[in-house]
Every structure is written in structure tokens, then in C-alpha cells.
Chain A
Amino acid sequence: MSNVQEMARLIRQDIITMLAAAKSGHPGGSLSAADIIAVLYFSEMKVDPQNPNWPDRDRFVLSKGHAAPVLYAALAEKGFFPKEELLNLRKTGHFLQGHPDMKKVPGVDMSTGSLGQGISAAAGMALAGKIDNKTYRVYCLLGDGEAGEGIVWEAAMAAAHYKLDNLLVILDYNGLQIDGPVQEVMNSEPLADKWRAFGWNVMEVDGHNIEELTASLQAARNVAGKPTIIIANTVKGKGVSFMENQVGWHGNAPSKEQAEAALAELKGGNSND
């Protein structure tokens, strides 16, 4: 098992542990993004846990801010703050807010949670990099239900208009949102065609395949003059069999018993392979 795969497995365990401790939060969309986040933080991105505000770092914006646990887990595993803090998620007086807060959490580059706004801010960061002739890249994780927000398309238009090839968006296409399947709640297909029509470089990958994710991120670096979106096909709740593809696990924390069962499965190891 590669280091990144191992990290994805640890991140999934952290997600379950912290959500069980918090007794609220969003497991489904955190687990679906675990492989993507593992690739970003343990292979792709140039960041320094000792210097979280390093001006030349790559940036990451979690536009689907409710998946905060997956980001916090990666930041803790990376060393931005002690892992014990994960157990204080969503608790009064502690810094791990229900949705990412850049003022409180080292390594969080943008406060998010209100859907659609993250991609707009990420594009603004990419524009700043262009103005300053910096080489840093800006990464943004977008939800599929999130594409219902109009600002996503405003940002898509502007990022292509300003040729932000230093902006890389990954769409966590797990197919489910709170009220049901995305295509039933508000059909967003044909998604790839939409992004292409907006002037983006579009790639489609298996969002749980580390090699595919890594290779597509590498390929995106060679695309000049336009932003890239990687549509990552994922499974909501991935890695915990009783959560997979279950819309009910969008925003409910596991009980102590459910968490134990989930952790046993995740420690077993092969759900991800």
C-alpha cells in the first residue's frame, strides 16, 4: 500500500473518530473525498506545516465546507496541529469549527461553509498569483450538489476569462445531496459538457483511484491558458459499507457502536483497494 493510500485510510478513521466524538457533522461527503484530499496533501501540494502562512505555498479551498472533517484529518496528519484536537471538533471554546475557519485553524486557507463561495475565492487567489507572477497553484474541492449555486458558474466564467491555469478544481461527484440524488433534486448533467462550454479543461477520473488522481493532477500542470476541473467519480460514505451511497449519512454522526463497526472495517484495510 502506498503512503498516500495509507494516509487515506488514516484520514477515514480520523473522520469517524472525530464525528463520533462531536456527535454531529457530515460523514458521507467527508469519506467520499478522503482519497482526493490524501493525494492533494501527501503527494500534490507544496505546503509547510511549520509555516502555514508561507506566501508561496499552494492553496487549498474546501468549497464544500461541510466536509471539514476530511480537511482537518489531513491537516492533523500533516502536522499543522496535534491530532488530539480532532476530538474537540465542534465543541465550545475549541478551534475546529463545524465548517472551516481560516482565522482559527492553521492550514485552512479560506473560511467556507456557505456553498458556492469557496470556488469564487479560490479563483481570486489564483488571480493574485497571476498578478504577482507566482508559481503557486490553487486547489479547490467542489461538491456536486453545490453546482446548484449560481456563483459557481459566475466563478467558472471568470476563471476561464482570466485564463487561470493555476486553478485546479476537483468535483467530488458522489451523486447525493441532502434531499436525495443530485439528478433528482436538481439535475446538473451534462456536467462535463457544461464545464467544457465554460472554457475549462475537463478530466474525468475514478475519485478513489490514487494513481488516476495523481496522474490527472500531473497532466493538469501542463494545460496552459485555462483552468482545469477534474470530475472525480466517488461513492458517498466510501470505505464504510453501511454508509456507502446512503443519503441519510450526509449529515448524521455515527453512534459509538456504529463508529466501532466503521473503524473495524477501515482498519481491516481493503475497502479502498
Chain B
Amino acid sequence: MTEQLIDWKKAKKIATREAYGQALVQLGEENPDIVVLDADLAKSTKTSDFAQAFPNRFFDMGIAEQNMIGFAAGLAAAGKIPFASSFAVFATGRAFEQIRNSVAYPQLNVKIAATHAGISVGEDGGSHQAIEDLALMRSLPQMTVLVPADATETKQVIKAAAAYEGPVYIRMGRLAVPVLFAENYKFSIGKANIIREGQDATIIANGLMVAKALQAAEELSGQGIETTVVNCASLKPLDKDTILKVARQTGAVVTAEEHNIIGGLGSAVAEILSENYPVPLYRVGIKDTFGESGSPEELLEKYGLTSTVIVQAVETVLQRKYLK
């Protein structure tokens, strides 16, 4: 269990986009069919690493996300494994219908690898902070949706996405976040990972909220409340068995995500619990509002995406659990 985690508070922070850039280069070395597309943001999404290593397999499509996805569909139909990158707002929002009709509907082998998701984009403000991308992608049939929590997991997620035949959306961030996982950590599509165990309540998180969940679990432990922490990087397919197992074991669940509470991890967990095993649930996330400019850490604080808020949420569900 805990050996999956490193001493993460002492580890250096790395943005998942940085790990993406490195993972792509490694993939490019291993598989000549990997091609990479970007929409004039290669330096920010870190696909520039791949562009430098494999200039003949990198294609800048200019500021034209819809056409980038269309090209990716055509490349996939002709046997390539395209990774198409942009900021999450534009990759999923601007090109949504191309993703729907040219990628998901024909089940083409396109990987939409988006960075700069969530309010931790920071200073660029609400126009650039995707809070709805997971809801959009999760609603598409035949789409796999992955949200890595740290650099180690990102590398595994990228590898798994390339090995999987079919459309995948990968959500990554701009902000440097703690490296959590040891090299023996194992990510698989469709599998949630229990990374801490406790009997009182469960915190299910993904993305940068996994570190906050671990922090909250420690704080709660100091008060004598022991929580299970589940990293749910595979938002779709969702690991129903693991979620129901921890819900049965602990009887109270908190979800934590850097996304609108509508349509993301909280919604997905609520759907499974309410249909199978209802327990007290609290969704920590962005409360159906757009973001704004500011420093990432200040925004995470302002929008309630902190370990303190998770601690309060666990206390809330515990009260409801013991009222029953």
C-alpha cells in the first residue's frame, strides 16, 4: 500500500505537462507510428520536446484546434498513433464536435493530450481554465478519460494510452505538483488505486487533488480519523468494484477534483454509489463557477480545493454516517 508512495512532501515538484513531454520522447523512440500534433502551444504543452527529437513526426497545425483533431483522425485512420495537444479548454471545447464525430464515433486511435486544465492555470484567468473538460469527454461513448496525479503516473498514463487501441483523453496541468508515486506504482486503465487505508471514511481524488487528499488524510489521522485514499486516475472507465468496495468498508465518501462538481469525478462516483450502495457523500470541487486570474495556490485556496476543505468534508460525511 504505502510503498506505492514516496516521501512526497520532501520530493521536488514537477508539472504533469513536463512528464508528458518526456514520456512522448520515450514513446517516440519505442514506436515509429507515434506522431504528435500541436496547435501553436508546443512550448507550453511540452510537445516541443518531441518536436526537437523527431521533427519529421511532429506537426504544428497552427491555431486551428478543430483541424488538428480532424488531421489526427485521418492519421489514425491510416495507421498512425497521433497525440494531439493543446490547452484543455481549446482541445475539448473548441474541437468538441470534431472529437465527437471524427474520433469517438468512428472509435479512431487518437490521443487527445491536454494540458493547462483546471484553475491552477492561474494568471491567464477564467477564459483559459478548463473546469468542464472532463464532463465533456466523459459524456462521449467509446472515450477513455485519464487524469494523472503526478509525474510518475503521467508517464505510465501516456504509455498506457499509446498501447490502448481507441480514443483517449488525458488531462494534465501547468502547475508543478508533488511527485507522489514510487517507480513500482502501477497504473492501469480502468483501475483505481488505493494508496492509503483507513476504516472511517474514503477520499476519492484525481489530478492535483490526490496530494491534497493525502495531506488531508494525515491531518485527519492526527485527530484519530483514519481514511482510505483512492487515486482515481481512470475516470472512464471507472473502477466500480474498487469504489463500491471502499464505500462498503468505510461507509462515507468524499470526492476531490479540480473540476466543476457537475460532470466530473464527483458526479461519476455519485452515479455509482446512488445506484448500488448509497453512503453519505460530499463532492469537493469547483462549485459551478468560472475561475479568474491569480496565482495558482491562491486560486486553489479561494475555490476550496485544499486539504482543509477535504478535512471539513470528511467531518461532514462522518456526522451523517453516524446519524444514520
Residues in chain A within 8 A of chain B (CB atoms):
55, 59, 61, 101-103, 109-114, 117, 119-129, 131-132, 150-151, 154-155, 157-158, 161-162
Contact = CB atoms under 8 A, between A and B. Distances in A.
B74 A125 contact: yes
Leading 6 A-B pairs by shortest Cβ distance:
A124-B74, A120-B70, A128-B78, A154-B67, A124-B71, A121-B74
Contacts of B106: 101-103, 110-111
Contacts of B102: 110-111, 114, 117, 120-121
Contacts of A59: 77-78
- The A contact surface, by secondary structure, is helix
Contacts of B101: 111-114, 117
Given A61-B74, A114-B100, A123-B71, 4 more contacts: A117-B97, A129-B78, A157-B62, A158-B67
B281 interface: no
A123 B64 CA distance: 14
Contact of A158 (B71, B75, B79, B105): B71
Contacts, number: 104
Contacts of A122: 74
19 contacts: A55-B79, A59-B77, A103-B107, A112-B101, A114-B101, A117-B102, A120-B102, A124-B75, A124-B78, A125-B75, A125-B78, A126-B74, A127-B75, A131-B80, A154-B62, A154-B66, A158-B61, A158-B64, A158-B71
A131 B106 CA distance: 23
A107 to B, nearest CB: 13
A123 B56 contact: no
Interface string B94-108: 000110111001110
Contacts of A55: 79
Contacts of A117: 70, 73, 97-98, 101-102
Nearest to A126: B74
Where chain B touches its partner, the secondary structure class is: helix
Interface of B: 35, 56-57, 59, 61-62, 64, 66-67, 69-80, 82, 97-98, 100-102, 105-107
A150 B66 contact: yes
Nearest to A55: B79
Nearest to A61: B74
A110 B67 CA distance: 15
Contacts of A161: 62
A127 B57 CA distance: 10
Contacts of B57: 131
Contacts of B77: 59, 102, 109-110, 121, 124-125
A55 to B, nearest CB: 7
Contact of A151 (B35, B66, B76): B66
